[in-house]
Amino acid sequence: MQRRRGKDLENALLEAAWAELAERGYAAFTLEAVAKRAGTSTPVMYRRWANKTVMVQAAIAHASSQRVIDIPDTGTLRGDLIAIMQAANASRTDLLVATAILLDGYFSETGSNPDQLREQILAGRRSAAETIVQRAVQREEVDASLLEPRLISLAFDLFRHEVLMTLKPVSNEAIERIVDGIALPLLTRQAPPEARGGPSAS
């Protein structure tokens, strides 16, 4: 067995866990197999992760952290949305597909769902969607009074849905349809005059 300690050992275990999950799925996933793949002992695993569920959560969070996307700042809401979806195509599509296909048993066993898992991984951090839309508010492209959580995440939810329906990256044409045909018209609409305190049309 390789003699690794601390963060080096933990990273090796998490990478081995993700590899096991990607190859075998949740149903066949075991801490013993992860230990063998990582070249360490089972007690080492259980000192860090009490059970299979906790180990899988940590492995997914680790895989996600290896695919962090720098949030673009193109100067426009449209440019930011398109740029981040194109970046996600290159670095995160495999993660979305893998978790959708491989984790059915996990969601049944834990009584959770993909959205709850995503919230666990984010751990209170602001999402890319929130950052991009907030910048658009500051540029006065978006009226903050019309925003609500589902609208902020709409473009990203549609992107994820496209990936999960096709199990492959989203085409540039589909990305532009999501942004230009759905997200932008809703995000950049203006409140009616009476809602802004102005005179209403007679």
The CATH number assigned to the domain with range 6-64 reads 1.10.10.60
Enumerate the CATH 1.10.10.60 domain ranges in the chain, comma separated.
6-64
What pLDDT, in 10s, does the model give residues 84-108?
999 999 999 988 888 778 887 898 8
Residue 201 has pLDDT above 50, yes or no: no
Residues in Cβ contact with 171 at an 8 Å cutoff, skipping those fewer than 6 apart = none
Q: Per the structure block, which two tokens stand in for 196?
A: 């802004």
pTM over 0.75: yes
Task: Give me the chain's average pLDDT, please.
Answer: 89
User: What b-and-e string marks burial along 27-51, b requiring 16 or more CB atoms within 10 Å of the CB?
Assistant: eebebebbbebbebeeebbeeebee
Between 120 and 149, the higher pLDDT residue: 149
Report pLDDT for 194. 66
